[in-house]
A = this chain, B = another copy of it.
Amino acid sequence: MANDTRSNYRDIKEIILERLQDGTWPAGSYLPGEIELAEEFGCARTTINRALRELANEGLLSRKRKAGTRVEEAPSRSATFKMPSIRHEVEEMGAEYRFFIAKSELTAAPRWLSGRLNSPDLGKLLYLHSVHYANNQPFQFEERWIVLETVPDAEFQTFDGKLMPSEWLLKVKPFSDVELTFTATRADKMQAEYLGIPLNEPVLVGERATWFKGEPVTFARMCHAPGYKMVTRY
């Protein structure tokens, strides 16, 4: 009557969720073992395993061999922010996307960047300014450093085509590790000029450092136009 697909494990997840919420299994307590639960629900242990595994991935339970399955104390249900390329973000607003490379030059690494990328000697870098537009309105200003030692091809890349730097990078050098940061700051002179906004306007700045198997790939600082909102649902 109620089931779309035969899918016990979803129902079991629901039931377990309810018990977590109604106090049957309070925070810090241990759930019965998989075998016991399998008997209770009249299903295979595999099915219980999947339900519990997913709940653990969602942060509600923690599981250890021999110890058992424990109810997490701080139900910090993790929020998943989808971070699509700016292009997608703009296009999903129904606006026309366009980008412009305002600067492209070789530089040495500023000292702070070595720290950010965990690498004492970065060598030569390609330094880029790009502006991303939504319907010809500046939407994001991006400052980017690309480590040429890791991505030598970047030196002769013109970025004149359809691929923005981040898209091009993803093609030639995928990443394995990322660190993302968000802060609210005052727009500095450069950011204000590129975005066409007053100096010191509050802006949401994202910083993204990426590595490929330990090698630093790129660091980007993305400054969003005032009013920009990051939204997520779960």
Contact = CB atoms under 8 A, between A and B. Distances in A.
Interface of A: 21, 59, 74-85, 87-88, 170, 174, 177-186, 202-205, 224, 226-234
Nearest to A175: B77
Contacts of A170: 75
Contact of A232 (B180, B183, B204): B180
Nearest to A212: B21
A199 to B, nearest CB: 12
Contacts of A186: 202
Contact of A202 (B80, B85, B203): B203
A60 B54 CA distance: 19
Chain copies in the assembled complex:
2
Q: Which of A74, A85, A174, A202 has the most CB of B within 10 A?
A: A202
B88 A177 contact: no
Contacts of A203: 184, 202
B82 A177 contact: no
Contact of A179 (B74, B81, B178, B231): B231
Contacts of A174: 21, 75
A79 B230 contact: no
Nearest to A232: B180
Given A185-B202, A202-B185, A180 B88 contact: no
B178 A234 contact: yes
B180 A182 contact: no
Contact of A233 (B83, B85, B178, B233): B178
Contacts of A227: 183
